[in-house]
Amino acid sequence: MKIIVFGGDGFCGWPCALNLSAKGHEVCIVDNLSRRNIDTELECDSLTPIQPIGKRLEAWKEVSGQTIRFMNINIAEEYHRLLNLLNDYEPDSVIHYAEQRAAPYSMKSSKERRYTVNNNLNATNNILSAIVESERDIHVLHLGTMGVYGYGTVGAVIPEGYLRINIANPDGESSEKEILYPADPGSIYHMTKTQDALFFYFYNKNYGLRITDLHQGIVWGTDTDQTGRDERLINRFDYDGDYGTVLNRFLVESAVGHPLTVYGTGGQTRAFIHIQDSVRCVELAMAHPPKKGDRVHIYNQMTETHRLIDLANKVSELTGATIDFIENPRKEAEKNELKVSNECFLNIGLDPITLKDNLMVEVVDVARRYKNRVDLSKIPPQSQWVPNKETKEKVAAC
Amino acid sequence: MKIIVFGGDGFCGWPCALNLSAKGHEVCIVDNLSRRNIDTELECDSLTPIQPIGKRLEAWKEVSGQTIRFMNINIAEEYHRLLNLLNDYEPDSVIHYAEQRAAPYSMKSSKERRYTVNNNLNATNNILSAIVESERDIHVLHLGTMGVYGYGTVGAVIPEGYLRINIANPDGESSEKEILYPADPGSIYHMTKTQDALFFYFYNKNYGLRITDLHQGIVWGTDTDQTGRDERLINRFDYDGDYGTVLNRFLVESAVGHPLTVYGTGGQTRAFIHIQDSVRCVELAMAHPPKKGDRVHIYNQMTETHRLIDLANKVSELTGATIDFIENPRKEAEKNELKVSNECFLNIGLDPITLKDNLMVEVVDVARRYKNRVDLSKIPPQSQWVPNKETKEKVAAC
Which CATH number goes with the domain that contains B325? 3.40.50.720
Q: Do B191 and A207 touch (CB under 8 A)?
A: no
Q: Is the pLDDT of residue A169 over 80?
A: no
Helix (H, G, I), strand (E, B) or coil at A109: coil
Which pLDDT belongs to residue B317? 94
Residue B389's pLDDT band (cuts 50, 70, 90): low
Q: Is the dihedral of CA B385, B390, B395, B398 positive or negative?
A: positive
Chain B positions touching A179 (Cβ under 8 A) are 182
How close B251 comes to chain A (CA, Å)?
30
Which of these, A75, A340, A245, lies nearest to B170 by C-alpha position? A340
| Separation between Cα atoms, residue A13 and residue B286, nearest integer Å | 47
Average pLDDT over residues A142-164: 83
pLDDT value at position A395?
43
Residue A233, classed as helix, strand or coil, is helix
Residue B393 predicted with pLDDT over 70: no
* Contact flag A183-B198 (C-beta cutoff 8 Å): yes
Nearest to B129 among A113, A155, A167 (CB): A113
Q: Are B59 and B233 contacting, i.e. CB atoms less than 8 angstroms apart?
A: yes
Best of B206, B294, B330, B388 to mutate (most A CBs within 10 Å, chain A)? B206
Chain A, nearest residue to B293 by Cα: A396
pLDDT at A394 over 50: no
If DSSP codes are grouped into helix, strand and coil, which group holds residue A310? Answer: helix
pLDDT at position A171:
64
pLDDT of residue B390: 46
pLDDT score for B357: 79
Measured between CA atoms, how close is B167 to chain A, in angstroms?
Answer: 7
What is the distance between the terminal CA atoms of chain A, rounded to a whole angstrom? 62
- What are the tens digits of pLDDT across the range A51-107? 999 999 999 999 999 999 999 999 999 999 999 999 999 999 999 999 999 999 999
Tell me the catalytic residues of B. 145, 189, 193
Q: What percent of chain A has pLDDT above 70?
A: 95
A145 beta partners: A216
Q: For the beta carbon of residue B337, count every other beta carbon within 10 angstroms.
A: 12
Considering only A31-35, B174-178, B387-391, which range has the smallest mean pLDDT? B387-391
State CA A20 to chain mean position distance.
18
- Lowest average pLDDT, out of A186-190, B124-128, B174-178, goes to B174-178
* Chain length of chain A: 398
Question: Could B132 and A125 be called an inter-chain contact, meaning their C-beta atoms sit closer than 8 Å?
Answer: no
Average pLDDT value for residue range A23-51? 97
How many angstroms separate the CA atoms of A149 and B39, rounded? 42
> How many angstroms away from the CA of A277 is the closest CA of chain B?
27
- Cα distance between residue B321 and residue B173, in whole Å: 59
Do residue A194 and residue B198 have CB atoms under 8 angstroms apart? yes
A198-202, A335-339, B243-247: least confidently modelled range: A335-339
Question: For the residues A253-275, what does the mean pLDDT come to?
Answer: 95
Smallest Cβ distance to A129: which of B110, B132, B175? B110
B364: enclosing H helix or E strand: helix B359-369
Which of residues 314 through 333 in chain A touch B, CB cutoff 8 A? 331
Q: Please report, rounded to a whole number, the percentage of residues in chain B having pLDDT higher than 70.
A: 95
pLDDT at A152: 57
DSSP character for A263? Answer: E
* Half-sphere CA count of A55, side-chain side, radius 13 A: 10
Q: What is the pLDDT of residue B394?
A: 44
CB atoms within 10 A of CB B231: 11
Instruction: Write the pLDDT tens digit of every residue in B10-26.
Output: 999 999 999 999 999 99
pLDDT at residue B392 is higher than 50: no
The string of pLDDT tens digits covering residues B165-211 is 877 666 667 778 889 999 999 999 999 999 999 999 999 999 999 99
Quick check: is A89 catalytic?
Answer: no
Tell me which of A116, A124, A145, A212 is the catalytic residue: A145
Task: Give the residue from chain A lying closest to B341, CA to CA.
Answer: A170
The verdict on residue A152 lying in a domain is yes
Interface test with A, best of B75, B167, B201 (most A CBs within 10 A): B167
Candidates A200, A319, A188; CA nearest to A250 is A319
Quote the CA–CA distance of B268 and B156 in Å, as a whole number.
17
- pLDDT (tens digit per residue) in B16-64: 999 999 999 999 999 999 999 999 999 999 999 999 999 999 999 999 9
**What value of ipTM does the predicted structure carry?**
0.95
Find residue B299's DSSP bridge partners.
Answer: B214
pLDDT at B165: 85
List, as ranges, residues 115-144 from B with C-beta within 8 Å of A.
117-118, 121-122, 125-126, 129-130, 132-133, 135, 137
Q: Which residues of B touch A126 (CB under 8 A)?
A: 114
Report yes or no: A79 at the B interface, CB cutoff 8 Å.
yes
Beta bridge partners of A71: A30
Q: What is the mean pLDDT of chain B?
A: 93
Of A79, A110, A198, the CB nearest to B191: A198
**Sign of dihedral through CA atoms A101, A102, A103, A107?**
negative
Query: Inter-chain contact B154–A165, Cβ cutoff 8 Å?
Result: no
Q: How deeply is A349 buried, as exposed, middle or buried, from its count of CB atoms within 10 A (0-12, 13-18, 19+)?
A: exposed
Contacts of B201 in chain A (CB under 8 A): 183, 185
Alpha carbons A295 and A96: distance in angstroms, whole number? 18
Q: Is residue A394 part of a domain?
A: no
Tell me whether residue A393 is in a domain.
no
Query: Model pTM greater than 0.80?
Result: yes
Q: Which of residues 253-312 of A touch B (CB under 8 A)?
A: 292-293
Inter-chain touch B137–A395, beta carbons under 8 Å: yes
CB atoms within 10 A of CB B145: 27
- Comparing A116-130, A237-251, A354-368, which segment has the lowest mean pLDDT? A354-368
Three-state secondary-structure class, residue B291:
coil
A342 confidence band (pLDDT: 50, 70, 90): very high
Q: For B135, which of A122, A191, A388 is closest by C-beta distance? A: A388
Helix (H) or strand (E) holding A144: strand A139-145
Q: Domain limits at A355?
A: 2-388
CB pairs A-B closer than 8 Å? 156
Of A132, A169, A339, the CB nearest to B387: A132
Burial class for A164, CB neighbours closer than 10 Å (0-12, 13-18, 19+): exposed
What does the DSSP 8-state code read for residue B335? Answer: B
Q: How far does B191 lie from chain A, in Å, by closest CA?
A: 7
d(CA B289, CA A306): 42
With an 8 Å Cβ cutoff, is B179 touching chain A?
A: yes
Q: Do B121 and A195 touch (CB under 8 A)?
A: yes
Give, as one character, the DSSP assignment of residue A267.
B
Give dist(CA B75, CA B83) in Å, integer: 9
- DSSP per-residue codes, A177-232: EEEEPPP--SSHHHHHHHHHHHHHHHHHHHH---EEEEEE-EEE----TTGGG-GG
More confident residue, B339 or A114: A114
Please tell me the predicted confidence (pLDDT) of residue A176: 82
Give which of B263, B387, B335, B381 is closest to A208, Cα–Cα: B387
Q: How far apart are CA A317 and CA A49, in angstroms?
A: 28
Of the candidates A311, A320, A286, A119, the one whose C-alpha atom is nearest the C-alpha of residue A218 is A311
B258 occurs within a structural domain: yes
> In this structure, is residue B396 part of a structural domain?
no
Average pLDDT along chain A: 93
Query: For residue A398, what pLDDT band results from cuts at 50, 70 and 90?
Result: very low
HSE (CB half, 13 Å, CA atoms) of B249? 22
Test mutation, A129, A169, A195, A341, chain B, max B CBs within 10 A: A195
Q: Give the nearest partner residue to A206 out of B110, B153, B331, using CB atoms.
A: B331
Q: Does the residue B397 lie in any domain?
A: no
User: Which residue of B lies nearest to A181 if distances are taken between CA atoms?
Assistant: B182
- Window 187-226 of B: residues touching A by CB (8 A cutoff) are 187-188, 191, 194-195, 198-199, 201-202, 205-208
Interchain CB distance below 8 Å, A109 and B133 = yes
Identify whether A395 is part of a domain.
Answer: no
Predicted local confidence at residue B398, as pLDDT: 40
- Asked whether residue A89 is assigned to any structural domain, the reply reads yes
Number of domains in chain B: 1
Tell me how close the Cα of B180 comes to any Cα of chain A, in angstroms.
Answer: 7
Q: What is the b/e burial string over B248-284, where b = at least 16 CB atoms within 10 angstroms of the residue's CB?
A: bbbbbbbbbebbbbbbbebebbbbbbbbbbbbbbbbb
Percent of residues in chain B assigned helix, strand, coil, to nearest 5? 45, 20, 40
Chain A residues in contact with B208 (beta carbon < 8 A): 392, 396
